[in-house]
Amino acid sequence: MSIQEAQYAAQQDHWLETPHGRVFARVWTPPAAAREGRESPIVLFHDSLGCVELWRGFPARLSASTGRRVIAYDRLGFGRSAPRSDRPTADFIVEEAERHFPAVREGLGIGHFVAFGHSVGGGMAVHCASRFADACEALITESAQAFVEERTIAGLLQAKALFGQEEQFARLGKYHGDKARWVLDAWLDTWLSPGFSAWSLASVLPGVECPLLAIHGLDDEYGSPRHPELIAQWAGGPSRAEVLADTHHVPHREREQAVLDLVAGFLHAGRRAGS
């Protein structure tokens, strides 16, 4: 974190003992939110190869731009959280909402919240918004997949070849340590499995009644703009899709200010509508 970011975001790490293993979480708090404590926090759900550290400086700047606490955690098997010996099932996305996020929510005392998920974390955020409909104030998906598309499979096969290179695989070890092989295999084996090909968010999104913002890059290598369109179309509440030109799979890194402006404006509009 830069000196400037440190001036407006107090960062605190937490270790949470859950029924399934120890979970690492980090909370960013802007001075205004620390004084007032009235805004629901934003909970970040990371992607298939992600972790708290790979959000980099985005959470601090998100906290500053929205005036809210931002919470990120490493899913079990990722980053600093406890390793897993089992492989994810085909229901791993819904299981995060049913089994793991509730433990994080309890451990950090999270009441009402805003769910923000990147890539597969977007699917997890959708399930959390549906399961905890009374508590989820708003939902933001970024580069989320709504179904398994041919472009998704093509992107996964390219990634598989890329991570077959020793230097590329070593990058995962920097963030996941000895868990790196599990992280990579859990991602590729699950999404490339024929049994996962029929997966989609079609059945859960109608239960999402809170305001929804679906952000996507026009050139996303893991999914066409059809994904945010369907996420917005299938949602049960007010929704909108924003597709960013000249942007691939990580808009919050490639077009950070655009994403910050979209999210801050979206949440501010929702606050005005609810006041």
pLDDT digits (tens, 9 = 90+) for 222-262: 999 999 999 999 999 999 999 999 999 999 999 999 999 99
Query: How confident is the model at residue 273, as a pLDDT?
Result: 55
Amino acid at 266: F
Task: Report how far residue 53's alpha carbon sits from residue 236's, in angstroms, rounded to the nearest whole number.
Answer: 33
Q: Which two tokens stand for residue 137?
A: 């104030």
More confident residue, 35 or 59: 59
Task: Report how far residue 252's alpha carbon sits from residue 194's, in angstroms, rounded to the nearest whole number.
Answer: 31
Task: Report how far residue 120's alpha carbon sits from residue 103's, in angstroms, rounded to the nearest whole number.
Answer: 19
Domain of 9 in residue numbering reads as: 3-274
- Total number of domains in the chain: 1
Residue 274 predicted with pLDDT over 60: no
Query: How confident is the model at residue 85, as a pLDDT?
Result: 85
Q: Give Cβ neighbours of residue 42 (< 8 Å, ≥ 6 apart).
A: 62, 63, 66, 68, 69, 70, 71, 113, 114, 115, 116, 140
For residue 172, the domain's CATH number is: 3.40.50.1820
pLDDT, tens digit, for every residue of 132-147?
A: 999 999 999 999 999 9
For 94, left (φ over 0), alpha (ψ -120 to 50), or beta? alpha
What is the rounded average pLDDT of the residues 52-77?
Answer: 96
- Contact predicate 146/170, CB 8 Å: no
pLDDT, tens digit, for every residue of 173-186?
A: 999 999 999 999 99
* DSSP H helix total and E strand total for the chain: 12, 8
- Contact predicate 60/28, CB 8 Å: yes
- Contact predicate 161/234, CB 8 Å: no
Query: How confident is the model at residue 39, as a pLDDT?
Result: 84
Task: Report how far residue 169's alpha carbon sits from residue 96's, in angstroms, rounded to the nearest whole number.
Answer: 25
The beta-strand segments (E) located in the chain are 10-18, 21-29, 42-45, 70-73, 113-118, 136-142, 212-217, 239-244
Query: How confident is the model at residue 5, as a pLDDT?
Result: 47
